[in-house]
Amino acid sequence: MAENPSTLGALRESGIRSRGVRDELRENLISALRRGESLFPGIIGYEETVVPQVVNAILSRHDILLLGLRGQAKTRLARGIQALLDAETPVIPGDPLRSHPLAPQGAFAQRVVAEQGDALEIEWLPRELRYGEKLATPDVNMADLIGDIDPLKAANEGLDLSNEEVIHYGIVPRTNRGVFVINELPDLAPRIQVGLLNILEEQDIQVRGFPLRIPLDLLFVFTANPEDYTNRGSIITPLKDRIASQILTHYPEDLASAHAITEQEAWSDRGEDAPAVIIPPFVADIVESIAFEGRVSEYVDQSSGVSARLAIAAREILVSQVERRALLSEGADPVPRLVDLDQLSTAILGKIELVYEGEQEGAVQVARHLIGQACQKVFDAHFPDVVEEGASDAEGKVKADRYRPILDHFNGGHRVELSDSQSDEDYLATLSAVPGLDKVAREFLPEAFAVAPGAAMELVLEGLHQHSMVAKEDVQRGAAYTDMMGLLMKGMR
């Protein structure tokens, strides 16, 4: 591989041309599409929706606004655009605007090129350093983004304050010839948003009243939450008008995509010194379904959303719960129990915003409700319908008969108490003592039953509870399943 030219003269002779960053991104994207390369690795579930729109925006040389609720990979998607930049690009050493040596911008670059000519030594900037990012907060000012006068530099070099070379450029000009991302754009003060207008359209910047005509070469990517964007209306209209492509993101639309995201992001492999925790597929489905249930729950503020981070954090807590039991009880099976799911509340509480009804219920109760709804959804996907005793059709009686021994056991006054601290032997013995429970679990979850028989049997009990056939009480570090009528009578007493 030939070495990069090291001087301006060698750069001219190499045939390398100067091109704008939007043209660079467009040309590299076209080449990637022709080669059939996978765009935006690590972004899952957007292959047929968001990614084609981002591709169209880059092909159109547009600035982009990614609009979506929290936890929808907006920032990761924005960061992925930098991969379409050239691996390296030539710059003039010491130039704050990082000018291309063949197209110097600003007083400094133009002066050194005029003074040194083809002998000017050049540097090569990797693509990773051509990306800038700023989280918009109310305290961000124009000096942070655009720049300010540096009086010390003016005094030391004997320059007038109106001289362009005494300006200390902000983060936006210093990302010239790159991709600049502003996260949570609505949180940027309106007067600061006004300062972006000319950069986006006229490429005009003004510092302390000194107008500068510097054609900044940038691709802007903004992210925003629609709650802020539509309700607070804090993106000023002229700025919205100048952002050519507005792209809506979304949460995973199916369990398969959600699983893939969690598997990719969750810290599940704890190393050689930790037990290798096995998460059965149906338990993984329950963890993912908690987030799905939260996105339709009447207790959760839907305008705020339920981040994909909920399932990721919940998976990590579940693995840690199993790991903790294995560390405390030598030889314990490294598989989860459904009673372990109560520990997931710590991962849920910070990921949901409650409406008034949810506040009345209490955050912990809402978290438990979501876990229960997720269990019911997975139970219904694997097991026959739960039918009341009075079913008249033949099929209904058959379905009811599958659960009859289990229900009769509880109707006889028996109680099943489970704990996350029970030994494996005691835990399995307690569940196996319920007539017909292992038979139903083995029939409809055969593969899971072979790996995690206790969790499979627990799912049957939890499913019956969610369908109001069996009562459930909270006990210390666990739960107890009892007869529904008996619990009602106890409550009346």
- List, for residues 178-188, the tens digit of each pLDDT value: 999 999 998 88
Average pLDDT over residues 425-434: 96
**Between 140 and 60, whose confidence is greater?**
60
State residue 421 phi and psi, 5-degree precision. Answer: -105, 0
DSSP sequence for 345-378: HHHHGGG--B-HHHHHH-HHHHHHHHHHHHHHHH
Three-state SS at 492: helix
The Cα–Cα gap between 371 and 348 comes to: 10
The Cα–Cα gap between 318 and 424 comes to: 17
- Per-residue confidence (pLDDT) for residue 144, from 0 to 100: 87
Where does 329-445 have alpha helices with state H? 345-348, 356-361, 363-382, 394-411, 424-432, 437-444
Give the domains, in start order, of the chain with CATH numbers.
8-248 (3.40.50.300), 251-382 (1.10.8), 385-493 (no CATH)
**∠440-442-446 over CA atoms, to 5°?**
135
Quick one: CA torsion of 485, 489, 492, 493, rounded to 10 degrees?
A: -160
The Cα–Cα gap between 164 and 151 comes to: 12
Where does 233-308 have alpha helices with state H? 237-242, 255-265, 281-294
Check whether 487 has a pLDDT greater than 60. no
Check whether 318 has a pLDDT greater than 70. yes
- List, for residues 22-80, the tens digit of each pLDDT value: 999 999 999 999 999 999 999 999 999 999 999 999 999 999 999 999 999 999 999 99
Confidence bin at 231 (pLDDT 50/70/90): very low
User: Which of 44-58, 129-143, 221-235, 294-308 has the least mean pLDDT?
Assistant: 221-235
- Per-residue confidence (pLDDT) for residue 233, from 0 to 100: 47
- List, for residues 355-391, the tens digit of each pLDDT value: 999 999 999 999 999 999 999 999 999 999 886 555 5
The answer for residues whose C-beta is within 8 angstroms of residue 51's C-beta and 6 or more apart is 39, 40, 43
- Per-residue confidence (pLDDT) for residue 409, from 0 to 100: 94
**Between 215 and 184, whose confidence is greater?**
184
User: Which of 31-35, 112-116, 209-213, 378-382 has the least mean pLDDT?
Assistant: 209-213
The Cα–Cα gap between 296 and 274 comes to: 37
pTM of the model: 0.88
- Per-residue confidence (pLDDT) for residue 147, from 0 to 100: 81
